[in-house]
Structure 1
Amino acid sequence: MAFWKITVQNIQFPPDVLGSIPEDLPIPLNDGACEHLDNMLLPDISLWSTDDQKINLSHLSGWNVIFCYSMTGRPGFAIPEGWIQIPGAAGYTPQVCSYRENHIAFKHNGIGVYGISVQTPEAQKEATNRLGLPFPLLSDADHYFSSALKLPLLEVGGLKLIKRLTFILKDGVIKKCFYPLFPPDKNVFEVMAWLSENQA
């Protein structure tokens, strides 16, 4: 696992992440909403991906990283009022870009990466194309996946959105859950450090 250790010890932040997180971004507190996820088998639910196919995460073999996020802003669309002040809401773009910049490390180690939100596949495709993501985003627009796992939600502007969290799977079983996440752009390195010690 030397490749992991080299990557973690020599952290490089992409240019579009540096300086993009406000200094006064509120820090989310751990409310215990994800403690029940340890060693849970994922539900048998298929989600549409930005690759135009349905993916059932419970059927994936080997190691996979799933990061859940509330939403990503879109050019020409207003974000909910007070978005920046909500703990754990803002920061998707820095987070996803850090996974994009380090995707080769996951690929080298045979680990899949997926993002999940309740946004529509169309909205996710826009983000995928705009940010040049090398991995798919999955749409839980009907809340089947988040409801089955009882994932923590935040409600803003009439929307029910998944709070930011990341879990690591082994053959469809949650082996590690990171929640809450702060700062969002550092989560990828927490994940890589855990995998470097636990992936066998």
Structure 2
Amino acid sequence: METLKVKLENKHVPTVGLPATDGEIVDLSSLKGLTVLYAYPRTSPPDSPPIEGWDQIPGARGCTPQCKGFASHYREILAAGANRVFGLSTQDTPYQFEMKSRLGLPFEVLSDADLKFASGLDLPVFEAGGMRLLKRLTLVIEDGTIRQVFYPVDDPAGNALDVLTWLQSKA
């Protein structure tokens, strides 16, 4: 059976316009240079509890620590050669805008609410709380082609450091 890493590496990302928290539409297939895209299931709204049973879903917990990790290492990731960093979830842009502000993220978050990007790459998803959510993974994309896949991401808080280490090893 083909692993996700083997299936995705050197594959061109689909031409899909994804709404970003800054109001722009981002087509990852057209971006030049290195782009880091980390996908996560969802962050919980600050005024409501997580989805019932969330902690029992393997790999679901850790979205906020993953986002904060990328925020903490953002400048280092850029210094190591990435041109852009994006978060990606199936949550809608207005929610993502609030979350980006609340967590102080220095980069934009993209919405794949209709799963067009995920479907175009056959990314792994799961269902919880009546929603289809992305499984946690990170892609390093170069000129629209996937160069590195981090999956599974067992340590969400350490994912950004893993990406940084990989980028530095390629410099």
- The two structures share one fold, judged by TM-score above 0.5: yes
User: Match for 1:162: what amino acid?
Assistant: L
Which SS does the other structure have where 1:98 is aligned? helix
For structure 1, the 5+ residue unaligned runs are 1-30
CA offsets 1:133-180 (integer angstroms, 9 cap, x no match): 100000001111111110000111211100000011111100010000
Q: How many residues align?
A: 169
CA contact (8 A) 1:41 1:173 kept: yes
Residues 1:153 and 1:34: Cα distance change in structure 2 (over 3 Å): farther
Letter paired with 1:64: T
Whether 1:133 and 2:101 are equivalent positions in the alignment is no
- Residue in 2 that maps onto 1:173: 145
Structure of larger gyration radius = 1
Name 2:124's counterpart in structure 1: 152
Q: Which segments of 5 or more consecutive residues in structure 2 lack a partner in the other structure? A: none
Shift of 1:186: 0.9
Q: How far off is 1:106 after superposition?
A: 2.1
Deviations 1:40-75 (A, max 9, x none): 100011100001110100111001110000000111
Question: Separation in 2 of the partners of 1:122 and 1:34?
Answer: 31
Please say if residues 34 and 151 of structure 1, whose CA atoms lie closer than 8 Å, have aligned partners that are also in contact. no
Q: Which residue of 1 aligns with 2:31?
A: 60
The CA distance in 2 between the partners of 1:105 and 1:57, in whole Å, is 21
Determine the C-alpha separation between the residues in 2 that align with 1:113 and 1:166: 11
Q: Give the structure with the larger strand fraction.
A: 2
Question: Is 1:122 aligned with 2:128?
Answer: no
Task: Tell me whether 1:103 sits opposite 2:74 in the alignment.
Answer: yes
Q: Structure 1 segments of 4 or more deviating over 6 A?
A: none
What percentage of aligned pairs have identical amino acids? 40
TM-score when normalising by structure 2: 0.94
Q: Secondary structure at the match of 2:113?
A: coil
- Structure 1 vs Structure 2 CA RMSD: 1.4
